[in-house]
Amino acid sequence: MKKLLLSLALFSVNSLSAYANELVTIDLSKAPTYQAIIELSRESQGYEQQKTVVVNMNEAASFRLSEQSAEPSTTHIEPSPGIPGKDYVVMLNTSIHFDSVPQVHLNQSRLQLSQRLPLSNSERIMIGGNHKVVSTHDGEANLTHEVVTEIWFSINKL
């Protein structure tokens, strides 16, 4: 009986994990100049929601990071105006949506970020995120768990 319960528990965890990683490519140009990469990650209790969005684009782009995003995200790239060690200045407006996962007490989450980033080619930078402790009540027990959210960005000249 214990083996059956353990097998069912592992199946449930693996079923959740099967949809945890997603790679989306958005082609906005037939001959793109740049490739923007946005990595979204949220983890709680060993469960991860990960999505990598690759945007093949020219100097400016408008796209949705998910169907649930309230606003389109936009990226505009300009050559660096003399900032030492930086190739570009990127204007980035992102609208990010994470789905709820009741099995691990993750609530739906939405983030809006607007940033002006001086970057060198292929530099990967964390543009947002947080680390918080969440308390929930499950029957007679109070449960506490950590939720870690990270958003990373990089730009590559093709």
pLDDT in tens, 62-81: 999 888 777 899 999 999 99
The strand pairing partners of 110, in sequence order, are 97
Query: What pLDDT is recorded for position 6?
Result: 35
Query: What pLDDT is recorded for position 93?
Result: 96
Cα–Cα distance for residue pair 103/118, rounded to 1 Å: 40
What is the residue extent of each domain of the chain? 19-157
Contact criterion met (CB below 8 Å) for 49 and 42: yes
Query: What pLDDT is recorded for position 74?
Result: 97
Query: What pLDDT is recorded for position 142?
Result: 82
Nearest in space to 94 (alpha carbons), one of 28, 35, 36, 19:
36
Q: What residue type is 155 in one-letter code?
A: I
